[in-house]
């Protein structure tokens, strides 16, 4: 597989007519892990939802190119078939649909219609992923996220990612609400899948997950755009100093442009 490249150019996104993202640009290549940090309301989740194609998020300007193809011209399912995956901040419950059925259907949706994944191969991959994430095998037979704790939902998002093996994995606050043991397990799932054929965009408020998933690049988002970039040391500095020094350094007095959705 060729090394993928995701290019986001001058992205502008509005929600309910209100501009949230204003000039977000970023280039990511295979093998790279990018982390986006920033205060509430900076537009981090809006970027993730817009890339994935949520209809509420209106892209008013810019392009999102995966290997040269403009994803914004594609439907949500077509973007997923190109290899996009979004681990959601608030995963939905799907009563009546088991995890196993959901995952097998999702895998087959990305395969040729005449070549579904054999059941034995699917069960092998599912059991391996469940073991890696220290999830009970009974989780496979439960309805998707129904009755799951917050931590179980986050592990279930990573389980989906492991089975689908996306080209671009966008992880929106997969660390929120996790205790330290669960955090390590989620981080293990991410690092297990990291490879030159894959891009990770990790959205987080805290540096602690980056202790276990070291990013190549850390970006600070304010005013709906990236205002500062650096390496892993930038995340540690944010943890220690907060964001005020960046506001002072860049002369930012009003970084909140909307509420995260």
What is the C-alpha separation between 139 and 149, in angstroms, rounded? 12
Q: Which two tokens stand for residue 227?
A: 């205002």
Counting Cβ atoms within 10 Å, is residue 21 exposed (0-12), middle (13-18) or buried (19+)?
A: buried
d(CA 223, CA 86): 23
User: Mind listing the pLDDT tens digit for each residue in 68-77?
Assistant: 999 999 999 9
CA distance 236 to 240: 6
Distances in whole angstroms, Cα of residue 77 to Cα of each of 30, 53, 110: 22, 9, 9
pTM of this structure:
0.92
5-250: CATH, from 3.40.50.80, 2.60.40.10, 3.40.50.300, 1.10.540.10: 3.40.50.300
Show the tokens assigned to 94. Answer: 């799907």
Return the sign of the alpha-carbon dihedral for residues 68, 29, 13, 251.
negative
144: β partners? 94
Cα dist from 79 to 82, 229, 247, whole Å: 5, 27, 36
Q: What is the pLDDT along the chain (261 residues), one digit of tens a residue?
A: 678 999 999 999 999 999 999 999 999 999 999 999 999 889 999 999 999 999 999 999 999 999 999 999 999 999 999 999 999 888 999 999 999 999 999 999 999 989 999 999 999 999 999 999 999 999 999 999 999 988 899 999 999 999 999 999 999 999 988 889 999 999 999 999 999 999 999 999 888 899 999 999 999 999 999 999 999 999 999 999 999 999 999 888 765 544 443
Q: What is the DSSP code string of 16-47? A: TTEEEEEEEEEEEETT-EEEEE--TTSSHHHH
- CA geometry: angle 175, 179, 180, nearest 5 deg: 90
DSSP string, 124-173: HHHHHHHHHTT--GGGGGSEETTT--HHHHHHHHHHHHHHH--SEEEEES
Instruction: Report residue 221 as tokens.
Output: 């988002």
């Amino acid at each position: 597989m060729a090394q993928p490249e995701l290019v986001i150019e001058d992205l502008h996104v509005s929600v309910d007519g209100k501009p949230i993202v204003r000039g977000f640009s970023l280039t990511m290549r295979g093998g790279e892990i990018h982390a986006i940090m920033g205060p509430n309301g900076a537009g981090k989740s809006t970027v993730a939802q817009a890339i994935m194609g949520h209809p509420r998020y209106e892209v008013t300007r810019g392009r999102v190119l995966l290997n040269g193809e403009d994803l914004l011209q594609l439907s949500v399912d077509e973007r997923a078939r190109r290899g996009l995956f979004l681990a959601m901040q608030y995963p939905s419950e799907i009563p009546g649909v088991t995890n196993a059925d959901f995952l097998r259907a999702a895998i087959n949706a990305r395969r040729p219609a005449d070549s579904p994944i054999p059941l034995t191969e699917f069960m092998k991959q599912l059991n391996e992923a469940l073991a890696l994430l220290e999830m009970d095998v009974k989780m496979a037979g439960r309805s998707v996220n129904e009755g799951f704790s917050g931590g179980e939902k986050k592990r279930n998002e990573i389980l989906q990612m492991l089975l689908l093996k996306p080209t671009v994995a966008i992880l929106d606050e997969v660390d929120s609400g996790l205790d330290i043991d669960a955090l390590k397990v989620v981080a293990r799932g991410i690092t297990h899948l990291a490879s030159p054929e894959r891009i990770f965009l990790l959205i987080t408020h805290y540096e602690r997950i980056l202790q276990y998933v070291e990013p190549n690049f850390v970006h600070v988002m304010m005013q709906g755009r990236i205002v500062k970039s650096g390496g892993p040391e930038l995340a540690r500095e944010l943890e220690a100093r907060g964001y005020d020094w960046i506001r002072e350094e860049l002369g930012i007095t009003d970084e909140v442009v909307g509420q995260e959705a």
